[in-house]
Amino acid sequence: MHAIDPLAPAWGWREPRAGRAAHVEAGVDYQATTNQLCGLFPFVAGSGSPAIGTPIGRHLLFGEVVCLDPLAWLRAGLVTNPGVFVLGQPGTGKSTLVKRLVTGAVAAGSTALILGDTKPDYTMLIEHLGGQVIRVGRGLDRINPLDAGPLGSAVRSLPQAEADKLRWEIRGRRLSLLMALCTLVREAPISNAEEVILGRTVDLLDARLDEPTVPDVLRAIEEGSEELRAAARVRDDHHYRECVGDLIFTLELLCTGSLAGVFDAPTSRPIDLGAPAVSVDISHVSVGADKLLTAAMLCTWAYGFAMVDAAATLAELGAGPRRSYLGVMDELWRALRGAPGLVEYADSLTRLNRAKGMASIMITHSLADLDALRTEEDRAKARGFMDRSAITILAGLPPRELTRVNETTRLTGPEQGLVASWSAPDSWQPGARHPGRGKYLIKTGGRLGIPVELSLVGAERELYDTDQAIREQS
């Protein structure tokens, strides 16, 4: 039998010409695309994460860069609509992710619209990006709920047929918002007769004034012209007063009640169509009554979407550049729970975003917020916001919340376990980093989720910081 040659030690034998190495360096790490790396090491594997849009972080399992832009994903056929629904506990970094998407959208040429900043979280970033910040509140900027905004200017520059079509759109928007505000103040829907009277009043004022206000509507109904009496189908002045009595008091509350001083005068600072980003800061309103905050959100949404409609209309007619938009609707449920029926109004505003070249991001803490809505009909419609969003982003959530999410967006067992592991710190040590801070699971359709971790760079550490005020106080 032949003797078995002994294996050489790792560094070789200690004798001449035995190939001994005095030092063995660690292997070199390479990171590159699969096109480049396959020639050096052909046994590569990737996660298949999309590389289209704004870089938001690295894949938690594979380490490659993950990108996200709802409009870019729509153009590439990765999703069917540009809606994004962000869900996560406070402190997990929801607004940080959204701010990264806003920054990337502006860099890519889209206009970012922060439609109702309640804290405010986005003011510093929008100013840094060279955008416009509108501060709504008593003694600050005002928004006229009946202001047609850029749509009104577009009417005057269009041919007759297109102008008439746009006037009907403006009428519908004015009437819808006026009805929503009346519903909010009254905490009950208005009647069919009152809707007819409001619509006729809007028509009469549109013929007289360029930008009517809520006090103008109140005065017109109180005067009770022949046109309004005919619309009310009444026999005499006494019956007319009976018919419009409740409506007059509702409009009076819009002008002199808890909403006084904010929505009862012409718009003081119109939205700038040419700004790279626009934020409507309603933080001064949020310290008041809930109704005032809800009214501010509704008016902000209406005004912002009117801006998008105007730009789209002008672009179709060749009278303006074609723009794309990223709209952010934070603290969504605080507006929807103001009164029954407001969900329908918000739904009508956001349903056609794809046709307008607009992506929307809706943010909330928990699906349990739905339980605060007044009626089952409203709760069902509100769940539709998540259903219609092609992209769902989950930050840290407890298991009970993930059970509800799974009813709408299917999650595998490992996905639920991963998101649940981000929901609570595992240590009482002061200063310990929350395990879910900056970690997100991106779900689209039936695909497996993409776990990603975001790391702040450069000026982002200051611009995206939402806890600065707390640290300064301590």
Residue found by looking up tokens 């990603």 in the block: 452
User: What local confidence, expressed as pLDDT, does residue 270 receive?
Assistant: 84
User: What local confidence, expressed as pLDDT, does residue 162 receive?
Assistant: 79
How much of the chain exceeds pLDDT 90, in percent? 30
Which of the residue ranges 3-17, 52-66, 160-174 would you say has the lowest mean pLDDT? 3-17
Is pLDDT at 192 greater than 50 in this prediction? yes
Confidence of residue 279 (pLDDT cuts 50, 70, 90): very high
Q: What pLDDT digit, counting tens, does each position of 394-428 carry?
A: 999 999 999 988 888 889 999 999 999 998 765 55
All domains in the chain, ordered by first residue: 44-132+275-474 (3.40.50.300), 149-270 (no CATH)
Q: At what angle do helices 160-186 and 237-256 cross, to 10 degrees?
A: 80
Is pLDDT at 151 greater than 80 in this prediction? no
Q: How far apart are CA 201 and CA 330, in angstroms?
A: 33
Non-local (6+) Cβ contacts of 417 within 8 A are none
Q: How far apart are CA 442 and CA 417, in angstroms?
A: 15
Are the C-beta atoms of residues 106 and 441 closer than 8 Å to each other?
A: no
Q: Report pTM.
A: 0.81
| Rg of the chain taking only CA atoms, in angstroms | 28
- Residue bearing the bigger pLDDT, 319 or 183: 183
Count the neighbouring beta carbons within 10 Å of the beta carbon of residue 101: 24
Question: Per-residue pLDDT averaged across 151-173, rounded?
Answer: 80
User: What local confidence, expressed as pLDDT, does residue 131 receive?
Assistant: 95
- Residue bearing the bigger pLDDT, 465 or 165: 165
